[in-house]
Chains A and B, each alone.
Chain A
Amino acid sequence: MEKDNQFPQWEVFIQIKNGTPHEHAGSVHASDKKMALQNARDIYTRRNEGRSLWVVKTDDIAATSAEEEAEFFDPAEDKIYRTPNFYKMPKGSTNI
């Protein structure tokens, strides 16, 4: 028997309400974009959990890995002068 085809995998992002970011919800299998959106609707928003959906093929996502986490993010580590608390304000100053 030929190997069964379950279609490519897509990642699903849902915007729950207006003004909020699209957040990852899970994935679906679908043969094309339209089917991916319809499957995502049926699987992840059966109770009005979303007002907008994005789908993107899983293979098209680039991601960092846990192994390279330290090395990848460490350029940000020694730059605390990027945060407001690094600075000493003149004594007695207010609203700043």
Chain B
Amino acid sequence: MNEEQKLNQFQARIDADEKIEPRDWMPDGYRKTLIRQMSQHAHSEVIGMQPEGNWVLRAPSLRAKKILLAKIQDEGGHGLYLYSATETLGIDRTEMIEQLQQGNAKYSSVFNYPTLNWADIGAIGWLVDGAAIVNQTMLAKCSYGPYSRAMLRICKEEGFHQRQGYEIMGKMMTGTQAQREMAQDAMNRWWWPALMMFGPHDSESAHSQESMKWKIKVESNDKLRQRFVNRTVEQAHHIGLTVPDPLLSYNKETLNWSFGPINWDEFWSIVKGNGPCNEQRMSHHIKYHNEGAWVREAALAFEENLTKKQTVSI
């Protein structure tokens, strides 16, 4: 078969909603797009542990602390599922981590904002994980088998992340005046970054068309963003929070909440590295990665000894 026939056959499989598996033939562009998107997704899970980790030692109760720890551990797990799913495309984890640390691979911009008060933990779970759920539920239907399966597993776990966040917000909104103000302040700071998580508008999105053709994405950025807004606005009103958007209004014809313009200059400036925490996130990652080097060396030395003695037993 020549390239063109292979390509046609590949597209036919995609059109028939078949899943593509690691050893199947795939066009270079499909592999490259997946590696870029999946590794970026994995890095986001890992870097996303930092803003939340900031509050583990200051959680207001033992219950809150246990929940936050469990959530952060889940995010680490998501990173690992995603690294392993990406490795099926022929890149190894060492290389992906190198790309991240050298600034050649990105992670979601939303994690470059700081977590200033406890309500931020509520806002992240409710809004950031809420947006992630909308996106990941779509990705669970994507054409690449290992990615789709990782997404299914992740979606099952995300439900608790969003609910624990909304619980925090709901509790604070029935608290003192000061607590309500903290919750609203967190809402004001996280609302727009959460909307930006869906990426540029469809008309501006560089990779969208090809990704849709290959079913790496099955719904567009704007459609997903609208779904998130519709769900979330009502949840906000339900607990007495104001959405920080003077242009927000309900459209009775489309049954959608229409919203004001997104500040894309801010978005692109953070993507380019100028967000409030970009530097901190990366230097933290590099520092702890390097400080763990001796552990990895020791584990390898231990394994060599085991093999020498041939007494491997569990």
Contact = CB atoms under 8 A, between A and B. Distances in A.
B74 A46 contact: yes
Interface residues of B, number: 33
Contacts of A43: 77, 80-81
B62 interface: no
A49 B296 CA distance: 28
Interface residues of A, number: 25
Interface stretch (A30-38, A71-79, A81-89): A30-38
A93 to B, nearest CB: 40
Contacts of A33: 312, 314
Contacts of B92: 6
A31 to B, nearest CB: 4
Contact of A67 (B25, B94, B150): B25
Contacts of B21: 66
A43 B81 CA distance: 8
A32 B312 contact: yes
A91 interface: no
B98 A4 contact: yes
Where chain B touches its partner, the secondary structure class is helix
A4, A7, A67 — most chain B CB neighbours (10 Å): A4
Interface in B18-77: 21, 23-25, 73-74, 77
A60 interface: no
A46 B73 contact: yes
B79 to A, nearest CB: 10
Interface in A23-72: 26-29, 31-35, 37, 42-43, 46-47, 63-67
Contact of B314 (A6, A34, A42): A34
B164 to A, nearest CB: 15
Given A4-B293, A5-B296, A43-B77, A28 B84 contact: yes
A81 to B, nearest CB: 29
Nearest to B73: A46
B97 interface: yes
B93 A6 contact: yes
Interface in A1-33: 3-7, 9, 26-29, 31-33
Contact of B77 (A6, A27, A46): A46
Interface of A: 3-7, 9, 26-29, 31-35, 37, 42-43, 46-47, 63-67
Closest 5 CB pairs of A and B: A31-B299, A66-B24, A27-B84, A31-B303, A32-B303
